[in-house]
Protein backbone atom coordinates (compact mmCIF):
# COMPACT_ATOMS: atom_id res chain seq x y z
CA UNK A 1 0.00 0.00 0.00
CA UNK A 2 1.00 3.64 -0.40
CA UNK A 3 -0.47 7.04 0.32
CA UNK A 4 0.49 9.46 -2.45
CA UNK A 5 -0.06 13.23 -2.60
CA UNK A 6 -0.37 15.20 -5.85
CA UNK A 7 0.54 18.88 -5.56
CA UNK A 8 0.73 21.76 -8.04
CA UNK A 9 4.18 23.38 -8.12
CA UNK A 10 3.28 26.68 -9.78
CA UNK A 11 0.23 29.01 -9.52
CA UNK A 12 -2.31 26.29 -10.20
CA UNK A 13 -3.73 25.04 -13.51
CA UNK A 14 -0.80 22.63 -13.93
CA UNK A 15 -2.96 19.75 -15.16
CA UNK A 16 -3.42 17.98 -11.83
CA UNK A 17 -6.85 16.72 -12.89
CA UNK A 18 -5.46 14.55 -15.67
CA UNK A 19 -2.69 13.27 -13.40
CA UNK A 20 -5.12 12.29 -10.64
CA UNK A 21 -7.40 10.69 -13.20
CA UNK A 22 -4.49 8.59 -14.49
CA UNK A 23 -3.25 7.54 -11.07
CA UNK A 24 -6.73 6.63 -9.86
CA UNK A 25 -6.35 3.42 -11.85
CA UNK A 26 -3.82 2.36 -9.19
CA UNK A 27 -5.61 3.89 -6.20
CA UNK A 28 -8.55 2.63 -4.19
CA UNK A 29 -9.56 6.06 -2.94
CA UNK A 30 -9.04 9.70 -3.96
CA UNK A 31 -9.28 12.48 -1.37
CA UNK A 32 -9.63 16.25 -1.88
CA UNK A 33 -8.24 18.09 1.15
CA UNK A 34 -8.46 21.88 0.62
CA UNK A 35 -9.95 24.71 -1.41
CA UNK A 36 -13.41 25.08 -2.82
CA UNK A 37 -15.16 25.51 -6.14
CA UNK A 38 -12.65 28.20 -7.08
CA UNK A 39 -10.62 25.26 -8.37
CA UNK A 40 -11.38 23.49 -11.62
CA UNK A 41 -9.94 20.28 -13.02
CA UNK A 42 -10.47 19.61 -16.73
CA UNK A 43 -10.23 16.02 -17.95
CA UNK A 44 -10.63 14.52 -21.42
CA UNK A 45 -11.85 10.91 -21.43
CA UNK A 46 -12.65 9.17 -24.73
CA UNK A 47 -12.84 12.58 -26.37
CA UNK A 48 -15.39 13.88 -23.83
CA UNK A 49 -14.46 16.85 -21.63
CA UNK A 50 -15.35 16.88 -17.93
CA UNK A 51 -14.83 19.89 -15.66
CA UNK A 52 -14.87 19.14 -11.94
CA UNK A 53 -14.82 21.77 -9.19
CA UNK A 54 -15.39 19.88 -5.93
CA UNK A 55 -15.63 16.17 -6.63
CA UNK A 56 -12.19 14.50 -6.93
CA UNK A 57 -11.10 13.64 -10.46
CA UNK A 58 -11.09 9.93 -9.61
CA UNK A 59 -14.90 9.84 -9.80
CA UNK A 60 -14.61 9.00 -13.51
CA UNK A 61 -13.29 5.54 -12.61
CA UNK A 62 -15.87 2.89 -11.62
CA UNK A 63 -15.25 1.08 -8.35
CA UNK A 64 -13.22 3.90 -6.75
CA UNK A 65 -14.20 5.87 -3.65
CA UNK A 66 -13.83 9.66 -3.67
CA UNK A 67 -13.80 11.76 -0.51
CA UNK A 68 -14.07 15.50 0.17
CA UNK A 69 -12.17 16.29 3.37
CA UNK A 70 -12.82 18.71 6.20
CA UNK A 71 -10.22 21.16 4.84
CA UNK A 72 -12.42 22.01 1.86
CA UNK A 73 -15.19 24.60 1.81
CA UNK A 74 -18.39 23.49 0.11
CA UNK A 75 -20.95 25.39 -1.91
CA UNK A 76 -23.76 22.83 -1.63
CA UNK A 77 -25.57 24.08 -4.73
CA UNK A 78 -22.42 23.60 -6.82
CA UNK A 79 -21.76 20.15 -5.35
CA UNK A 80 -25.32 18.99 -6.05
CA UNK A 81 -25.17 20.35 -9.60
CA UNK A 82 -21.90 18.50 -10.14
CA UNK A 83 -23.40 15.24 -8.85
CA UNK A 84 -26.44 15.61 -11.09
CA UNK A 85 -24.39 16.60 -14.13
CA UNK A 86 -22.11 13.57 -13.80
CA UNK A 87 -25.04 11.22 -13.30
CA UNK A 88 -26.66 12.76 -16.38
CA UNK A 89 -23.55 11.92 -18.41
CA UNK A 90 -23.55 8.30 -17.28
CA UNK A 91 -20.97 8.69 -14.50
CA UNK A 92 -22.54 7.11 -11.42
CA UNK A 93 -22.21 9.27 -8.30
CA UNK A 94 -23.81 8.01 -5.09
CA UNK A 95 -23.02 7.62 -1.38
CA UNK A 96 -21.29 4.39 -2.40
CA UNK A 97 -18.46 6.23 -4.18
CA UNK A 98 -18.61 9.82 -2.84
CA UNK A 99 -18.12 10.78 0.80
CA UNK A 100 -18.42 14.34 2.15
CA UNK A 101 -16.83 15.25 5.48
CA UNK A 102 -19.36 16.23 8.12
CA UNK A 103 -16.74 18.75 9.31
CA UNK A 104 -16.35 20.60 6.00
CA UNK A 105 -17.41 24.25 6.17
CA UNK A 106 -20.27 25.54 4.03
CA UNK A 107 -20.16 28.57 1.74
CA UNK A 108 -23.21 30.73 2.46
CA UNK A 109 -24.85 33.45 0.32
CA UNK A 110 -23.33 36.16 2.50
CA UNK A 111 -19.85 34.78 1.80
CA UNK A 112 -20.34 35.22 -1.94
CA UNK A 113 -21.92 38.66 -1.48
CA UNK A 114 -19.04 39.87 0.68
CA UNK A 115 -16.44 38.41 -1.68
CA UNK A 116 -17.83 40.30 -4.67
CA UNK A 117 -18.47 43.53 -2.74
CA UNK A 118 -14.89 43.62 -1.42
CA UNK A 119 -13.34 43.08 -4.84
CA UNK A 120 -15.54 45.79 -6.35
CA UNK A 121 -14.57 48.24 -3.61
CA UNK A 122 -10.84 47.59 -4.11
CA UNK A 123 -11.00 48.65 -7.76
CA UNK A 124 -7.52 48.54 -9.29
CA UNK A 125 -6.10 47.03 -6.09
CA UNK A 126 -8.24 43.90 -6.37
CA UNK A 127 -6.71 40.50 -5.65
CA UNK A 128 -8.49 38.72 -8.48
CA UNK A 129 -10.67 36.31 -6.51
CA UNK A 130 -13.27 34.20 -8.31
CA UNK A 131 -16.09 35.74 -6.23
CA UNK A 132 -17.18 32.28 -5.07
CA UNK A 133 -17.09 33.19 -1.37
CA UNK A 134 -14.09 30.98 -0.60
CA UNK A 135 -12.10 33.55 1.41
CA UNK A 136 -15.00 34.80 3.56
CA UNK A 137 -15.96 31.20 4.34
CA UNK A 138 -12.43 30.42 5.55
CA UNK A 139 -12.54 33.64 7.59
CA UNK A 140 -15.65 32.45 9.42
CA UNK A 141 -13.99 29.09 9.99
CA UNK A 142 -10.98 30.72 11.66
CA UNK A 143 -13.21 33.13 13.63
CA UNK A 144 -15.21 30.14 14.89
CA UNK A 145 -18.45 31.33 13.35
CA UNK A 146 -18.63 28.92 10.43
CA UNK A 147 -21.45 26.62 9.43
CA UNK A 148 -20.36 23.03 8.81
CA UNK A 149 -21.95 20.23 6.81
CA UNK A 150 -23.58 18.62 9.85
CA UNK A 151 -25.28 21.93 10.72
CA UNK A 152 -27.41 21.57 7.60
CA UNK A 153 -29.10 18.55 9.15
CA UNK A 154 -30.43 20.41 12.21
CA UNK A 155 -32.94 23.27 11.77
CA UNK A 156 -32.49 24.65 15.29
CA UNK A 157 -28.70 24.76 15.06
CA UNK A 158 -28.71 26.25 11.58
CA UNK A 159 -31.20 28.97 12.56
CA UNK A 160 -29.19 29.95 15.63
CA UNK A 161 -25.96 30.30 13.62
CA UNK A 162 -27.68 32.20 10.82
CA UNK A 163 -29.18 34.71 13.27
CA UNK A 164 -25.78 35.41 14.77
CA UNK A 165 -23.94 35.59 11.45
CA UNK A 166 -26.47 37.63 9.50
CA UNK A 167 -26.58 40.32 12.16
CA UNK A 168 -22.94 41.04 11.36
CA UNK A 169 -22.93 40.24 7.62
CA UNK A 170 -26.01 42.32 6.80
CA UNK A 171 -24.55 45.24 8.74
CA UNK A 172 -21.35 45.02 6.66
CA UNK A 173 -23.20 44.56 3.38
CA UNK A 174 -25.60 47.44 4.01
CA UNK A 175 -23.62 50.02 5.98
CA UNK A 176 -20.14 49.56 4.53
CA UNK A 177 -20.69 48.24 1.02
CA UNK A 178 -24.12 49.72 0.28
CA UNK A 179 -25.59 46.34 -0.74
CA UNK A 180 -29.02 44.87 -0.01
CA UNK A 181 -29.35 42.74 3.18
CA UNK A 182 -30.00 38.99 2.87
CA UNK A 183 -33.18 37.28 4.09
CA UNK A 184 -32.68 34.74 6.86
CA UNK A 185 -35.84 32.73 6.18
CA UNK A 186 -35.01 32.19 2.52
CA UNK A 187 -31.45 31.09 3.36
CA UNK A 188 -32.65 28.74 6.10
CA UNK A 189 -35.09 26.91 3.83
CA UNK A 190 -32.66 26.74 0.92
CA UNK A 191 -29.85 25.27 3.00
CA UNK A 192 -32.02 22.82 4.90
CA UNK A 193 -33.07 21.46 1.49
CA UNK A 194 -29.42 21.13 0.55
CA UNK A 195 -28.87 19.28 3.81
CA UNK A 196 -31.56 16.75 2.97
CA UNK A 197 -29.96 16.07 -0.37
CA UNK A 198 -26.39 15.78 0.95
CA UNK A 199 -27.06 13.90 4.19
CA UNK A 200 -26.61 10.42 2.62
CA UNK A 201 -23.12 11.43 1.43
CA UNK A 202 -21.92 12.82 4.79
CA UNK A 203 -19.56 10.80 6.98
CA UNK A 204 -16.36 11.03 9.04
CA UNK A 205 -13.71 11.14 6.29
CA UNK A 206 -10.72 10.82 8.62
CA UNK A 207 -12.07 7.57 10.05
CA UNK A 208 -12.82 6.23 6.57
CA UNK A 209 -9.25 6.98 5.44
CA UNK A 210 -7.84 5.33 8.55
CA UNK A 211 -9.88 2.22 7.84
CA UNK A 212 -8.53 2.05 4.28
CA UNK A 213 -4.96 2.44 5.51
CA UNK A 214 -5.41 -0.39 8.00
CA UNK A 215 -6.69 -2.56 5.15
CA UNK A 216 -3.55 -1.84 3.13
CA UNK A 217 -5.33 0.13 0.42
CA UNK A 218 -3.76 2.77 -1.85
CA UNK A 219 -4.97 6.33 -1.23
CA UNK A 220 -4.36 9.32 -3.50
CA UNK A 221 -4.64 12.87 -2.13
CA UNK A 222 -5.59 15.54 -4.65
CA UNK A 223 -4.51 19.14 -4.17
CA UNK A 224 -6.23 22.18 -5.66
CA UNK A 225 -4.54 25.37 -6.91
CA UNK A 226 -0.73 25.45 -6.67
CA UNK A 227 2.03 25.84 -4.10
CA UNK A 228 2.59 29.53 -4.86
CA UNK A 229 -1.04 30.30 -4.09
CA UNK A 230 -0.61 28.94 -0.56
CA UNK A 231 -1.83 31.47 2.01
CA UNK A 232 1.38 31.09 4.06
CA UNK A 233 4.04 30.28 1.47
CA UNK A 234 2.70 31.86 -1.73
CA UNK A 235 2.96 35.31 -3.29
CA UNK A 236 0.90 36.93 -0.55
CA UNK A 237 -1.55 38.69 -0.76
CA UNK A 238 -2.13 37.35 -4.28
CA UNK A 239 -2.90 33.88 -2.96
CA UNK A 240 -5.85 31.63 -2.24
CA UNK A 241 -7.41 31.29 1.22
CA UNK A 242 -6.09 27.87 2.21
CA UNK A 243 -2.82 25.97 2.52
CA UNK A 244 -2.12 24.29 -0.81
CA UNK A 245 1.15 22.61 0.21
CA UNK A 246 1.46 18.91 0.96
CA UNK A 247 1.64 19.47 4.71
CA UNK A 248 -2.02 20.46 4.71
CA UNK A 249 -3.04 16.93 3.72
CA UNK A 250 -2.73 16.00 7.38
CA UNK A 251 -5.04 18.75 8.64
CA UNK A 252 -7.38 18.89 5.65
CA UNK A 253 -8.03 15.15 5.40
CA UNK A 254 -7.28 13.94 8.93
CA UNK A 255 -4.27 11.68 8.33
CA UNK A 256 -1.07 11.55 10.36
CA UNK A 257 2.16 12.74 8.67
CA UNK A 258 3.86 9.36 9.14
CA UNK A 259 1.26 7.82 6.83
CA UNK A 260 2.21 9.91 3.80
CA UNK A 261 4.56 7.86 1.65
CA UNK A 262 5.49 10.29 -1.12
CA UNK A 263 4.57 13.56 -2.75
CA UNK A 264 4.65 14.25 -6.49
CA UNK A 265 4.66 17.74 -7.96
CA UNK A 266 2.89 18.60 -11.20
CA UNK A 267 4.84 21.02 -13.43
CA UNK A 268 3.37 22.59 -16.55
CA UNK A 269 6.12 22.72 -19.21
CA UNK A 270 5.73 26.49 -19.15
CA UNK A 271 4.20 28.78 -16.52
CA UNK A 272 0.74 30.34 -16.23
CA UNK A 273 -1.05 32.52 -13.74
CA UNK A 274 -4.68 33.64 -13.44
CA UNK A 275 -5.59 36.99 -11.92
CA UNK A 276 -3.28 39.51 -10.35
CA UNK A 277 0.15 39.10 -8.76
CA UNK A 278 3.84 39.01 -9.72
CA UNK A 279 4.94 36.79 -12.59
CA UNK A 280 8.68 37.13 -13.36
CA UNK A 281 8.73 35.05 -16.58
CA UNK A 282 5.49 36.40 -18.08
CA UNK A 283 5.49 36.80 -21.86
CA UNK A 284 3.58 39.80 -23.18
CA UNK A 285 4.32 39.05 -26.81
CA UNK A 286 3.40 36.77 -29.70
CA UNK A 287 5.04 33.76 -28.04
CA UNK A 288 2.90 34.23 -24.93
CA UNK A 289 -0.21 34.54 -27.11
CA UNK A 290 0.77 31.39 -29.02
CA UNK A 291 1.16 29.38 -25.82
CA UNK A 292 -2.15 30.71 -24.50
CA UNK A 293 -3.96 29.75 -27.71
CA UNK A 294 -2.40 26.31 -28.26
CA UNK A 295 -2.59 25.43 -24.56
CA UNK A 296 -6.22 26.49 -24.23
CA UNK A 297 -5.15 28.64 -21.31
CA UNK A 298 -8.50 29.85 -20.05
CA UNK A 299 -9.73 29.19 -16.53
CA UNK A 300 -12.02 26.15 -16.26
CA UNK A 301 -13.82 27.84 -13.35
CA UNK A 302 -14.06 31.45 -14.54
CA UNK A 303 -13.12 31.37 -18.21
CA UNK A 304 -10.55 34.09 -17.57
CA UNK A 305 -7.49 34.02 -19.86
CA UNK A 306 -4.33 32.82 -18.12
CA UNK A 307 -1.16 34.86 -18.30
CA UNK A 308 1.57 32.75 -19.90
CA UNK A 309 5.35 32.69 -19.61
CA UNK A 310 8.52 30.61 -19.73
CA UNK A 311 9.08 27.78 -17.29
CA UNK A 312 10.30 29.20 -13.98
CA UNK A 313 12.48 26.67 -12.15
CA UNK A 314 12.95 29.08 -9.22
CA UNK A 315 9.23 28.68 -8.59
CA UNK A 316 9.41 24.90 -9.11
CA UNK A 317 12.47 24.42 -6.88
CA UNK A 318 10.84 26.39 -4.09
CA UNK A 319 7.95 23.94 -4.37
CA UNK A 320 10.35 20.99 -4.25
CA UNK A 321 11.56 22.28 -0.89
CA UNK A 322 8.18 23.24 0.57
CA UNK A 323 6.50 19.96 -0.35
CA UNK A 324 9.37 17.49 -0.01
CA UNK A 325 8.75 16.28 -3.55
CA UNK A 326 9.92 12.82 -4.56
CA UNK A 327 9.30 13.27 -8.27
CA UNK A 328 7.89 15.54 -10.97
CA UNK A 329 5.04 15.14 -13.44
CA UNK A 330 5.47 17.26 -16.59
CA UNK A 331 2.28 18.35 -18.38
CA UNK A 332 1.43 20.16 -21.64
CA UNK A 333 4.85 19.49 -23.13
CA UNK A 334 3.23 19.31 -26.57
CA UNK A 335 2.19 22.98 -26.40
CA UNK A 336 5.83 24.04 -26.78
CA UNK A 337 6.21 22.26 -30.12
CA UNK A 338 7.22 24.66 -32.89
CA UNK A 339 8.90 27.32 -30.72
CA UNK A 340 12.49 27.62 -32.05
CA UNK A 341 14.19 28.60 -28.79
CA UNK A 342 12.88 27.79 -25.31
CA UNK A 343 13.89 29.65 -22.17
CA UNK A 344 13.99 28.32 -18.62
CA UNK A 345 14.49 30.61 -15.62
CA UNK A 346 17.24 29.14 -13.45
CA UNK A 347 17.59 32.06 -11.00
CA UNK A 348 16.57 35.65 -10.29
CA UNK A 349 18.74 38.73 -10.47
CA UNK A 350 17.62 41.12 -7.73
CA UNK A 351 19.90 44.14 -7.84
CA UNK A 352 23.37 42.84 -7.06
CA UNK A 353 22.08 39.57 -5.64
CA UNK A 354 21.27 36.30 -7.35
CA UNK A 355 18.39 34.38 -5.77
CA UNK A 356 17.62 30.70 -6.24
CA UNK A 357 14.32 30.71 -4.34
CA UNK A 358 11.23 32.92 -4.42
CA UNK A 359 11.64 35.88 -2.01
CA UNK A 360 8.82 36.39 0.53
CA UNK A 361 8.48 40.14 -0.02
CA UNK A 362 6.16 41.12 -2.87
CA UNK A 363 8.23 44.21 -3.71
CA UNK A 364 11.37 42.09 -3.78
CA UNK A 365 9.87 39.58 -6.19
CA UNK A 366 8.53 42.30 -8.49
CA UNK A 367 12.04 43.78 -8.67
CA UNK A 368 13.60 40.44 -9.69
CA UNK A 369 14.55 39.67 -13.26
CA UNK A 370 14.79 36.05 -14.43
CA UNK A 371 18.15 34.56 -15.37
CA UNK A 372 17.46 32.35 -18.38
CA UNK A 373 19.05 29.24 -19.81
CA UNK A 374 18.21 28.83 -23.49
CA UNK A 375 17.45 25.46 -25.03
CA UNK A 376 16.68 24.50 -28.65
CA UNK A 377 13.05 23.74 -29.44
CA UNK A 378 11.58 20.98 -31.62
CA UNK A 379 9.23 20.82 -34.60
CA UNK A 380 8.16 17.18 -34.43
CA UNK A 381 4.66 16.13 -33.29
CA UNK A 382 5.10 14.36 -29.94
CA UNK A 383 1.45 13.52 -29.24
CA UNK A 384 1.79 9.89 -30.31
CA UNK A 385 5.04 9.19 -28.47
CA UNK A 386 4.75 6.73 -25.58
CA UNK A 387 8.41 6.15 -24.68
CA UNK A 388 10.85 8.76 -23.42
CA UNK A 389 13.57 7.56 -25.78
CA UNK A 390 11.31 8.10 -28.80
CA UNK A 391 10.91 11.81 -28.14
CA UNK A 392 12.91 14.22 -30.34
CA UNK A 393 16.42 14.77 -28.98
CA UNK A 394 15.70 18.44 -28.18
CA UNK A 395 12.55 17.45 -26.26
CA UNK A 396 14.60 14.97 -24.24
CA UNK A 397 17.18 17.68 -23.62
CA UNK A 398 14.47 20.03 -22.30
CA UNK A 399 13.17 17.35 -19.92
CA UNK A 400 16.69 16.45 -18.79
CA UNK A 401 17.35 20.10 -17.95
CA UNK A 402 14.22 20.22 -15.76
CA UNK A 403 15.25 17.04 -13.98
CA UNK A 404 18.79 18.25 -13.34
CA UNK A 405 17.79 21.72 -12.15
CA UNK A 406 15.12 20.28 -9.79
CA UNK A 407 17.42 17.55 -8.50
CA UNK A 408 14.63 14.96 -8.46
CA UNK A 409 13.48 12.45 -11.10
CA UNK A 410 10.62 12.68 -13.56
CA UNK A 411 7.77 10.26 -12.91
CA UNK A 412 5.30 11.04 -15.71
CA UNK A 413 5.38 13.13 -18.88
CA UNK A 414 2.13 14.22 -20.54
CA UNK A 415 2.24 14.88 -24.28
CA UNK A 416 -1.47 15.67 -24.80
CA UNK A 417 -4.79 16.04 -22.96
CA UNK A 418 -6.04 12.46 -23.40
CA UNK A 419 -5.47 9.65 -20.92
CA UNK A 420 -3.38 7.71 -23.41
CA UNK A 421 -1.19 10.69 -24.35
CA UNK A 422 1.18 9.94 -21.51
CA UNK A 423 4.69 8.59 -20.96
CA UNK A 424 4.89 6.72 -17.64
CA UNK A 425 8.39 6.52 -16.17
CA UNK A 426 7.76 5.51 -12.56
CA UNK A 427 4.82 4.05 -10.65
CA UNK A 428 4.05 6.56 -7.88
CA UNK A 429 2.65 3.79 -5.70
CA UNK A 430 5.84 1.76 -6.05
CA UNK A 431 8.41 4.53 -6.27
CA UNK A 432 12.03 4.03 -5.37
Average the pLDDT over each of 49-53, 218-222, 295-299, 411-415 and give the range with the smallest value.
Answer: 49-53
CA–chain centroid gap for 45, Å, is 20
> Are the C-beta atoms of residues 254 and 205 closer than 8 Å to each other?
yes
Q: Say whether pLDDT at 26 is over 70.
A: yes
Q: Span 306-310, mean pLDDT?
A: 96
Average the pLDDT over each of 20-24, 45-49, 329-333, 405-409 and give the range with the smallest value.
Answer: 45-49
Distance CA 362, CA 358 (A): 10
Distance CA 408, CA 324 (A): 10
**Closest to 241 (Cα-Cα) out of 363, 142, 124:** 142
> Are the C-beta atoms of residues 127 and 274 closer than 8 Å to each other?
no
Give the pLDDT band of residue 419 (cuts 50, 70, 90). Answer: confident
- pLDDT, position 125: 66
- pLDDT, position 84: 95
| Three-class SS state of 361 | coil
Q: Span 95-121, mean pLDDT?
A: 94
pTM of the full predicted structure? 0.93
Give the pLDDT band of residue 49 (cuts 50, 70, 90). Answer: confident
pLDDT, one tens digit per residue, over 199-227 is: 999 999 999 999 999 999 999 999 889 99
**Closest to 72 (Cα-Cα) out of 98, 95, 102, 105:** 105
Query: How many helices (H) and strands (E) would you count in the chain?
Result: 12, 20
pLDDT, one tens digit per residue, over 149-165 is: 999 999 999 999 999 99
Share of the chain above pLDDT 90, in %: 81
- Catalytic sites, residue numbers: 13, 41
- pLDDT, position 95: 97
> Are the C-beta atoms of residues 315 and 9 closer than 8 Å to each other?
yes
Instruction: Give the torsion through C-alpha atoms of 314, 317, 322, 324, to 10 deg.
Output: 180
**Closest to 329 (Cα-Cα) out of 42, 8, 4, 1:** 8
Q: Span 39-59, mean pLDDT?
A: 79
Average the pLDDT over each of 84-88, 114-118, 125-129, 280-284 and give the range with the smallest value.
Answer: 125-129
- pLDDT, position 82: 94
> Are the C-beta atoms of residues 64 and 29 closer than 8 Å to each other?
yes
Give the pLDDT band of residue 275 (cuts 50, 70, 90). Answer: confident
Residue 163 vs residues 107, 147, 157, 170, 176: alpha-carbon distances, Å:
16, 12, 10, 10, 19
Distance CA 255, CA 262 (A): 14
Residue 287, phi then psi, degrees to nearest 5: -65, -45
Q: Within 13 Å of residue 97, how many CA atoms lie on the same side as its CB?
A: 18
CA–chain centroid gap for 248, Å, is 13
Domains of the chain: 3-94+204-430 (3.90.170.10), 105-200 (1.10.300.10)
Q: Say whether pLDDT at 72 is over 70.
A: yes
Distance CA 391, CA 382 (A): 7
Distance CA 190, CA 201 (A): 18
Average pLDDT score, the chain: 93
Residue 263, phi then psi, degrees to nearest 5: -125, 130
Q: What's the length of the chain?
A: 432
Q: Say whether pLDDT at 301 is over 70.
A: no
Q: Span 252-265, mean pLDDT?
A: 96
Average the pLDDT over each of 314-318, 381-385, 398-402, 425-429 and give the range with the smallest value.
Answer: 425-429
Amino acid sequence: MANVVIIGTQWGDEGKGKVVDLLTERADCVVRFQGGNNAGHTLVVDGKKFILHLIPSGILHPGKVCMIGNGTVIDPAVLIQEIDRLNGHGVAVSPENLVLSRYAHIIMPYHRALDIARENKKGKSKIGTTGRGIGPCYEDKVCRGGIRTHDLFNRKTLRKKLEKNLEEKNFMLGKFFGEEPLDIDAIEEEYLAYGERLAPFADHVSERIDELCRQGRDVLFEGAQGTHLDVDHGTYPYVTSSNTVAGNVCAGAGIGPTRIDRVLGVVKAYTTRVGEGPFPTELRDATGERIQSLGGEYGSTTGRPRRCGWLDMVVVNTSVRLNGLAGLVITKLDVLTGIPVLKVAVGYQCGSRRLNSVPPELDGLEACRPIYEELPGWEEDIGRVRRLGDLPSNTQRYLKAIEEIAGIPLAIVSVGPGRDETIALKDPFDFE
